[in-house]
Amino acid sequence: MMKSSNLGYPRIGEDREWKKALEAFWAGKLGEEELRQQLQDLRLNHLRKQLAKGIDVIPVNDFSYYDHMLDTAAMFGIVPKRFPYEGGVVPLSVYYGIARGTKDAAASEMTKWFNTNYHYIVPELDGAVPVLTENKPLSAYREAKEKLGIEGKPVIVGPLTFLKLSKGYSQADSDAWLSRLLPLYVQILQELANEGVEWVQIDEPILTQKLSVADVNRLKNIYETFAASVPTLNIMLQTYFESVEQYTEIIGLPVKGIGLDFVHGRSGNLSSIQALGFPENKVLGAGIIDGRGIWKSSLREKLGLLEELAGFVNPERILVQSSCSLLHVPVSVAYETKLSTELKDALAFADEKLDEIVLLTKAACRNLNAIPEEFQENERAYLTFKFSKNRKRDDIQQAVATIADQQLERKLPFSERYAAQQQKWQLPIFPTTTIGSFPQSAEVRKARQLWRKNEWSQEQYDDFIRKQIDIWVQVQEEIGLDVLVHGEFERTDMVEFFGEKLEGFAFTQNGWVQSYGSRCVKPPIIYGDVAFLKEMTVEETKYAQSLTGRPVKGMLTGPITIMNWSFVREDIPREQIAYQLAYALRQEVEALERAGIGMIQVDEPAVREGLPLKEADQAEYLSWAVKAFRMATCTVQDTTQIHTHMCYCEFHDMIHSIEAMDADVISIETSRSHGELIHSFEVNTYTKGIGLGVYDIHSPRIPGVGEMTSMIERALHVLDPKLFWINPDCGLKTRGMKETVESLRNMVEATQIARSNHAATV
């Protein structure tokens, strides 16, 4: 008989209780014991919900105080040397210090979790001597069993994935590191087996990447060691986000179950099973419900897939589950009271996905008499939305198709534009600027709330925004920045703001998901064709420019980032969605230029995270991503300077595509991984304007002048001083005013030192 399973549940709570507890603790408003109690209550509530819905195999240890990769590092006592740690269980002060930084120590690097918008803390292995400080999976198992009577399935990040996603070691030391980590994993598993645990989920999403022969051998060594050490424990080797690469080797591993993604990896995984079969002695974790998307599944179509799988695998050895952890979707559709009935009925968040899993499991077990009504209602809602006329605009589709066929190029090449722009702007060497946003204080958030509740008129709100712009234009001038921004005080979010002003978008009231740490975002929903309605940013930018003689950048979010940071429709290719967004943004770029704004920043921090995991698919994605950016920006005058901003990516495998975007200046988020990026430039050339972030805005610490000067000098060893800009890592929306001003003052002072050092060479 098939059973239902889940791979992980959102941490944040129905009303973001998790976020509120963490931030209260960081602010000193909540003690450590209170924090632990509140988080335990939340964690148990999540388990109760899954139990009540009828999930047979419930995950434990999927909850975290910040991030699961950080949890794994802390469990092994892997703490960077710059933090005060003398062994034993890692204190919360050190744990959060690694994640957020402290006054005396920079935070660890944070980067994307595969191709999602979730960010994990990168473990630093350099100099660490791993030991088991606490068996967190065991504690989570005991808690669920003692408090709720749940026989939970502990979830652990697998050794190969943990190692491959860590830093601070050379590839030559991979086997040495595994030899240190494996005994600790074995100890965890043996203690779980002794406790009577039935199943353990070991997450190895790295298996969807192409592995070297050496890594395949390491994989075999890992799981042969586990099988020999804990022969009675059922290990579910869980993969997700794509199809596995070395299928034959993976199904041959001595584990009791293998979890495969039949949503994002459906084609590859299904083909492998059809061609090569599936071991008779293993359980298949069939990930058929999308753990990353928010659309309702067609239960009939999913039931057909289950029946097809049952032709290769005994139904009694199939677990029906989500394709990945539900960490990546909001908690429940139940709280959405303002969406149209047609759209709301087409949505499935975490709780609704659990219901889908249970319904499919019952249906697959042939208990159809209990659920025909649910299947009929699902099919009605699914088809009504799929064929809705509200999603289509022929004029947009035709206009985009016409533009996509054109040659999308600036009139002059960069070298000639650069000369014209230098003559127009007369900027000093190493121009200073920021990425766009300034602190959104409690006052700013309150003003927006009053306006949204209609307690403030539009005029009152506009006046408040102008006063914020007044303050921060003056602050920027006093600090000595060369290129200013208006501060984005009218914007809740860099994607939501634009979506609210474009056709084809819908917005939830409570559709929050975790991005990093306590930072939660509420992605818009792109449900139909995207269309430009009216100017979106011109008024505020033009007003800021009227206050100063220095250039003010127009600030837009790029088409690929809007797409990648939204929940998007599934009825047309993502490429077409990107082009529709680009066409709308082109109209805004042209409006800014007509208003006299001669520097326009079109941010694309999410280009890298949309890169397909399969190498064979990456060139096509990059081609249309570049095309979308150029579609949005290529019509401006030669003297109009196009900027863009990106989060850190391994430059060597994208540099040609980034250059092909043909932005005049690119700023890159790099401070947590500055050395790695500098190394990339030692082997790759970049011939356009570039600014490497010289301090980390995700941390509340204020970096010193010397620290930033050092970063600038390292960059200038490999970058052309004539084309080098100086800026923070990212936008400053989440920071306080005092730390922002002090950090920027230090940045300008570091710039002045650099100008003095390099004046003769430029």
Nearest-5° angle of CA 263, CA 269, CA 274? 125
Query: Is residue 365 part of an annotated ligand binding site?
Result: no
Query: Is residue 88 part of an annotated ligand binding site?
Result: no
Residue with token string 């944040």: 12
Please tell me what DSSP assigns to residue 487: B
- Edge to edge, the sheet with strand 525-532 lists 502-506, 525-532, 567-568
Query: Is residue 519 part of an annotated ligand binding site?
Result: yes
Query: Is residue 624 part of an annotated ligand binding site?
Result: no
* Given 264, 674, 698, 717, the catalytic residue: 698
**332 contact partners, CB below 8 Å, separation of at least 6:** 14, 349, 350, 351, 352, 510
The CA-based diameter of the chain, rounded to the nearest angstrom, is 84
437 by Cβ neighbours in 10 Å (0-12 / 13-18 / 19+) ranks as buried
**604 contact partners, CB below 8 Å, separation of at least 6:** 558, 560, 561, 629, 644, 645, 646, 661
CA dist 190 to 137, 144, 153, Å? 12, 19, 15
**735 contact partners, CB below 8 Å, separation of at least 6:** 439, 697, 700, 743
Cα 355 to Cα 302: distance, rounded to the nearest angstrom:
13
Torsion of CA 39, 45, 46, 48, to 10 degrees: 150
CB atoms within 10 A of CB 732: 26
Query: Is residue 112 part of an annotated ligand binding site?
Result: yes
Query: Is residue 170 part of an annotated ligand binding site?
Result: no
Query: Is residue 609 part of an annotated ligand binding site?
Result: yes
CA dist 453 to 60, 447, 458, 488, 521, Å? 40, 10, 11, 20, 21
Tokens of 627: 């095309």
Cα 404 to Cα 397: distance, rounded to the nearest angstrom:
11
Query: Is residue 488 part of an annotated ligand binding site?
Result: yes
Contact 311, 258 (CB under 8 A): no
- Secondary structure (DSSP) of 366-411: T-GGGSHHHHHHHHHHHHHHHT-GGG--HHHHHHHHHHHTS----S
36 by Cβ neighbours in 10 Å (0-12 / 13-18 / 19+) ranks as middle
Query: Is residue 324 part of an annotated ligand binding site?
Result: no
Contact 71, 62 (CB under 8 A): no
Query: Is residue 604 part of an annotated ligand binding site?
Result: no
As a residue count, the chain comes to 762
Phi, psi of 531 (to 5 degrees): -140, 140
Please tell me what DSSP assigns to residue 296: P
Active site residue 698: yes
- Secondary structure (DSSP) of 640-686: SEEEEEE----GGGTHHHHHHT--SEEEE--GGGHHHHHHHHHHS--
Tokens of 527: 């449900």
Strand partners, 200: 235
Query: Is residue 18 part of an annotated ligand binding site?
Result: yes
Full 3-state SS string of 522-574:
CCCEEEEEEEECCCCCHHHHHHHHHCCCCCEEEEEECHHHHHHCCEECCCCCH
Residue with token string 């050379």: 170
Query: Is residue 649 part of an annotated ligand binding site?
Result: no
Query: Is residue 714 part of an annotated ligand binding site?
Result: no
Query: Is residue 730 part of an annotated ligand binding site?
Result: yes
Cα 663 to Cα 686: distance, rounded to the nearest angstrom:
12
Residue 389 CA, distance from chain mean position: 32
Query: Is residue 739 part of an annotated ligand binding site?
Result: no
Contact 439, 735 (CB under 8 A): yes
Query: Is residue 669 part of an annotated ligand binding site?
Result: yes
Question: What residues are designated binding site for 5-methyltetrahydropteroyltri-L-glutamate?
Answer: 16-19, 112, 519-520, 565, 609
Catalytic residue set? 698
From the annotation, which residues make up the binding site? Answer: 16-19, 112, 435-437, 488, 519-520, 565, 603, 609, 645, 647, 669, 730
Binding residues for L-methionine: 435-437, 488, 603
Known binding positions for Zn(2+):
645, 647, 669, 730
* Binding positions for L-homocysteine: 435-437, 488, 603
